[in-house]
Amino acid sequence: MEVGFLGLGIMGKAMASRLLKHGFRVTVWNRTLSKCEELVEQGASIGETPAMVVKKCKYTIAMLSDPAAALSVVFEKDGVLEQISEGKGYIDMSTVDADTSSKISEAIIKNGGSFLEGPVSGSKKPAEDGQLIILSAGDKALYEVILPVFDVLGKKSFFLGEVGKGARMKLVVNMIMGSMMNALSEGLCLADKSGLSPQTLLDVLDLGACSNPMFKLKGPAMIESKYPPAFPLKHQQKDMRLALCLGDEHAVSMPIAAASNEAFKKARSHGLGDLDFSAVYEIVKGTAPSGNAA
Ligand SMILES: NC(=O)C1=CN([C@@H]2O[C@H](COP(=O)(O)OP(=O)(O)OC[C@H]3O[C@@H](n4cnc5c(N)ncnc54)[C@H](OP(=O)(O)O)[C@@H]3O)[C@@H](O)[C@H]2O)C=CC1
Ligand SMILES: O=CCCC(=O)O
């Protein structure tokens, strides 16, 4: 199967690389074209624009930073819409809001193509290892055709129904995750300030009902103030913002998510946006350097 891939950031690069390793022919595009080179070394072809990728491939996947990026790659000059046509499928796996997904879906369908949203749970390492959780919604027939691709990228694919349900599920999950990260940061800080060992706190948490892979993975690095970006903080703040908008729409009060969003926003204003989202710990500790927003 020839698959197009738009967006070679932390996630897109790992996902496209995995497809190549599993025998798919992949044509890649990235806004900063030089980032395609590593994939070309692994056997990918380059499409010089999103439109050229769609022209060449029956199925094209996108993994882009945010709603603005997802929309621009579809609607702007040399974008996906210029070449989408009957028989072609577009699968957007970026984390966006349901409105963005619906706008893209409507335009793709109007031009004869089919559309599936497929945001993912799981970060850089699960993407490299094919262990993502795929939250898809939209065209069921496209879902069935693209399952061999999802099976290489993920450990489990959900089909959630009409367009928007994948986007909303993803935002709910990340809202919970962002709040948990703030709770962990406050706990580590409180342990430290009150004379307890943060590492012992992690050990205790890991043995009880609060044990989870995120605390286990991120906790030790946080204690060392190390935040190599797996999930950039600026994207977590985007997801909190979009989840809070969803809460507004449905009149769901979310004070914990709102407070967590403030901490991520503050982290961005201190220039921590490109670090891993666990860097919010620096805000909770009050040790963030002054810096420019990212
Ligand atoms: N990292 C993670 O752990 C996870 C991330 N996600 C979601 O996946 C998506 C990608 O995340 P990730 O790979 O980490 O992000 P990165 O910031 O590493 O990559 C973002 C990608 O989007 C591209 N991009 C940004 N703006 C535009 C634009 N205006 N037009 C075209 N392309 C653009 C970038 O291109 P360029 O290289 O030119 O900047 C890059 O390819 C996001 O929606 C994120 O929320 C979901 C699950 C986990
Ligand atoms: O959107 C990012 C999710 C990161 C994760 O699930 O570990």
Atom of ligand 2 nearest to the CA of 170: 1
**Residues paired with 25 in a beta bridge:** 2
**Domain limits, CATH 3.40.50.720, in the chain:** 2-161
- Which tokens go with 44? 């990918």
Q: What is the percent of the chain where pLDDT is above 70? A: 99
What are the pLDDT digits (tens) for 168-218? 999 999 999 999 999 999 999 999 999 999 999 999 999 999 999 999 999
Does residue 39 have its Cβ closer than 6 Å to ligand 1? no
In angstroms, what is the span from residue 103 Cα to ligand 2's centroid? Answer: 24
Domain with residues 2-161, CATH architecture = 3-Layer(aba) Sandwich (3.40)
Does residue 47 have its Cβ closer than 6 Å to ligand 1? no
**Domain limits, CATH 1.10.1040.10, in the chain:** 167-285
Mean per-residue pLDDT over the chain, rounded = 97
- Any idea which fold 167-285 has? N-(1-d-carboxylethyl)-l-norvaline Dehydrogenase; domain 2 (1.10.1040)
Question: Per-residue confidence at 16, pLDDT binned at 50, 70, 90?
Answer: very high
What value does the CA radius of gyration of the chain take, rounded to a whole number of Å? 20
ipTM over 0.95: yes
Q: What is the rounded CA–CA span in Å between residue 107 and residue 125?
A: 33
Tally Cβ neighbours within 10 Å of residue 136: 28
Mean pLDDT of 106-112: 98
Does residue 166 have its Cβ closer than 6 Å to ligand 1? no
Ligand with the closest atom to the CA of 78: 1
Q: What is the rounded CA–CA span in Å between residue 210 and residue 191?
A: 16
Task: Return the exposure string of 45-77: e unless at least 16 CB atoms fall within 10 Å of the residue's CB, then b.
Answer: bebebbbbbbbebebbbbbbbbbebbbebbeee
Residues 278, 218 contacting (CB under 8 angstroms): yes
